[in-house]
Amino acid sequence: MEYYSNAISQLIQQLSRLPGIGQKSAQRLAFHIINMPQEQVEKLAASMTGARANVRYCKCCQTLTDQELCPICSNPRRDHSVIMVVENPRDMAAYEKTGKFEGVYHVLHGAISPMMGIGPDDIRLKELMQRLQSDVSEVIIATNSSLEGETTAMYISRLIKPTGIKVSRIASGVPVGGDLEYIDEVTLLRALEGRVDL
């Protein structure tokens, strides 16, 4: 039996498709949106469609941006010879919150996972290898401490070592199985400072 009108049910259904949003959260969000002033709803809708239309990959580090280069890659004060490899833009943001990393990033948009059918060609490794043709002194691998993250780290290490570029891995301090985006800045900073050569 339907409790809500068609328009409300459709809004709840669409919101419940978002990651981490269950049926009850979707209902709560739907009623919040319905009760918002019309102008705010229009701004919300415009920001969603605008982001979807204009956000693309940074041509250097592959993070999401609405410019050709993201703010980090376009910053001349960053050390472009040190690249930290992360799985997704949220991990990059987590490290940026520490305020201590002065290099640049490379976002893979995933990790190697044979069980899920994700191989090296399915993540942004080719773009990373192209970046290494320039003046790079160190690659810090900051993938998650999961099986997929460790597999990805070892694969990247084997690819880069023959080039003579220093390859390091963030130290533990990041719990095994933990996702970087949920870890506090102090733990992330400790892991960065205690990184080890691979």
pLDDT in tens, 90-128: 999 999 998 899 999 999 999 999 888 999 999 999 999
Amino acid residing at 140: I
Q: What is the pLDDT of residues 28-48, one digit of tens each?
A: 999 999 999 999 999 999 999
pTM exceeding the 0.85 threshold for the entire prediction: no
Grade residue 1 by pLDDT with cuts at 50, 70 and 90: very low
CATH class entry, domain 6-54: mainly alpha
User: Which pLDDT score is estimated for 172?
Assistant: 65
Across the chain, what does the average pLDDT equal?
Answer: 90
- Report d(CA 70, CA 159) in Å as an integer: 26
- Report d(CA 31, CA 184) in Å as an integer: 33
User: Which pLDDT score is estimated for 111?
Assistant: 94
Would you list the domain boundaries of the chain? 6-54, 70-197
Torsion of CA 8, 12, 14, 16, to 10 degrees: 180
124 within 8 A of 107, measured Cβ to Cβ: yes
- Which residue do the tokens 């919150």 mark? 97
User: Which pLDDT score is estimated for 145?
Assistant: 80
The CATH number that domain 70-197 falls under is 3.40.1360.10
What percentage of the chain exceeds 90 in pLDDT?
Answer: 73
68 within 8 A of 87, measured Cβ to Cβ: no
Q: What is the pLDDT of residues 127-148, one digit of tens each?
A: 999 999 989 999 999 998 888 9
User: Which pLDDT score is estimated for 176?
Assistant: 64
Per mean pLDDT, which range of 66-80, 118-132, 135-149, 184-198 is the poorest? 184-198
Q: What is the pLDDT of residues 163-179, one digit of tens each?
A: 999 999 887 666 667 77
Grade residue 6 by pLDDT with cuts at 50, 70 and 90: confident
Pairing of strands 79-86, 103-107: parallel
Closest-CA residue to 156 (of 135, 180, 176, 128): 128
pLDDT average, residue stretch 63-92:
95
* Residue 154 scores a pLDDT above 70: yes
- Report d(CA 15, CA 5) in Å as an integer: 16
pLDDT average, residue stretch 15-38:
94
User: Which pLDDT score is estimated for 187?
Assistant: 72
* Residue 16 scores a pLDDT above 60: yes
